[in-house]
């Protein structure tokens, strides 16, 4: 009897084990798609963050003191490249959002592939409307890629089939970033030349003004030394350094106290005129340094933004490749935090 009971118990345990194993296996297979859905979302997060980072530039809305000077061909070229880059980023963002939407749609796997293929057809039509030499995939290759996406058995297979397009978008974006870096330097040089063209004369005269001011102040120091010591060598030194303040005066040994007072008044009069002149230069000098500081700040911010953009694109392409290979866990990391921590230390 006990043997029979043991046999029944063993049979139940075996049955439960089999059911449990079947349940786990089934859950594991169905869980793969939700994992993919959860891990596709960082594509959108990453590219949105990238777009925000790179949008610190010579764009008109970002500048104050130099806005009226940002009209040259190099600035125009930089803006055109920035617009081209933002166009590629918009395509990447749209693709990422589509992948998220499809992954979370609850559609059967084959329909998910069909939806991705339908989106890529629309993207292809847009690319054909605005052709660019940045992309290397031919029209025929793109058509084949779209068919492979449509024929994929599930979303991971569709992403795998679309990987060449993700690579191509990444390469195109990288090429634009390279051109943006060169254009940024050229735009900075152009802006600095425009700034100096408007205020350079004032700065040059400001340097001359400082030299004249030093002469006058040194002359007053020599006069003060004469009043303290009565040493006429101080007056002789003053006459040798700036003789025009002694115009109409007798030779140095014959100078009277009244003459010395007159020389001193001439020095003070010159200093007063120079002070009024200095006040008239303040606006130009301050504007020059405000404009130079603004350009330097914008360029520094833009360089950091471009580095962040480059790394963000690289991370996006690599993550897409991991997802398309069915490797879901690495994509769980916060890619934007990774990007921020690596900028400046990797590039």
Q: In Å, how far are 182, 217, 235, 292 from 227, measured between CA atoms?
A: 63, 15, 10, 46
**Domain layout of the chain by residue ranges:** 39-199+297-342, 203-284
* % of the chain at pLDDT higher than 70: 73
Residues 321, 329: Cα–Cα separation, whole Å: 13
Token duo for residue 36: 């993919």
Confidence of residue 101 (pLDDT cuts 50, 70, 90): confident
**Residue 60 half-sphere exposure, CB side, CA atoms within 13 Å?**
8
Residues 1-24, mean pLDDT to the nearest whole number: 36
CA of residue 213 relative to chain centroid, distance = 43
Q: Report phi then psi at 10, rounded to 5.
A: -60, -40
- Confidence check: pLDDT of 97 > 60: yes
| In the block, residue with structure tokens 């025929």 | 140
321 burial via Cβ count (<10 Å: 0-12, 13-18, 19+): middle
Q: In Å, how far are 13, 196, 277, 304 from 283, measured between CA atoms?
A: 91, 14, 11, 32
| In the block, residue with structure tokens 């069915």 | 326
- Confidence check: pLDDT of 190 > 90: yes
Confidence of residue 263 (pLDDT cuts 50, 70, 90): very high
**Per-residue confidence (pLDDT) for residue 117, from 0 to 100:** 93
Give the predicted TM-score (pTM) of the model: 0.65
Residues 148, 215: Cα–Cα separation, whole Å: 83
**Per-residue confidence (pLDDT) for residue 44, from 0 to 100:** 60
Tens digit of each residue's pLDDT (9 = 90 or more) over 119-144: 999 888 776 655 566 888 888 888 99
- Confidence check: pLDDT of 39 > 50: yes
Residues 4-19, mean pLDDT to the nearest whole number: 36
């Amino acid at each position: 009897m006990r043997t029979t009971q043991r046999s029944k118990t063993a049979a139940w345990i075996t049955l439960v084990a089999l059911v449990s194993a079947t349940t786990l296996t089934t859950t594991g297979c169905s869980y793969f798609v939700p994992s993919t859905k959860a891990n596709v979302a960082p594509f959108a997060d990453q590219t949105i963050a990238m777009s925000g980072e790179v949008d610190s530039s010579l764009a008109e809305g970002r500048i104050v003191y130099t806005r009226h000077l940002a009209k040259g061909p190099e600035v125009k070229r930089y803006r055109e490249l920035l617009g081209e880059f933002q166009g590629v980023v918009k395509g990447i963002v749209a693709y990422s959002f589509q992948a998220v939407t499809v992954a979370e749609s609850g559609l059967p796997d084959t329909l998910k592939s069909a939806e991705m293929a339908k989106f890529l057809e629309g993207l292809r039509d847009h690319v054909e409307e605005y052709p660019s030499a940045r992309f290397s995939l031919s029209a025929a290759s793109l058509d084949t890629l779209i068919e492979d996406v449509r024929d994929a058995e599930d979303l991971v297979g569709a992403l795998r089939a679309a990987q060449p397009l993700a690579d191509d978008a990444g390469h195109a974006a990288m090429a634009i970033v390279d051109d943006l870096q060169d254009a940024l330097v050229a735009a900075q040089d152009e802006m600095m030349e425009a700034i100096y063209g408007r205020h350079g004369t004032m700065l040059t005269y400001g340097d001359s003004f400082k030299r004249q001011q030093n002469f006058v102040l040194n002359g007053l120091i020599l006069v003060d030394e004469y009043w303290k010591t009565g040493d006429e060598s101080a007056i002789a030194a003053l006459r040798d350094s700036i003789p025009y303040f002694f115009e109409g005066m007798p030779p140095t040994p014959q100078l009277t106290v009244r003459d010395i007072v007159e020389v001193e008044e001439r020095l003070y009069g010159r200093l007063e005129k120079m002070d009024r002149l200095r006040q008239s230069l303040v606006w130009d000098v301050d504007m020059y340094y405000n404009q130079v500081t603004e350009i330097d700040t914008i360029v520094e911010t833009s360089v950091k933004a471009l580095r962040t953009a480059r790394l963000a694109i690289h991370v996006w392409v690599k993550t897409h490749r991991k997802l398309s290979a069915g490797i879901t866990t690495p994509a769980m990391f916060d890619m934007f935090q990774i990007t921020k921590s690596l900028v400046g230390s990797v590039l």
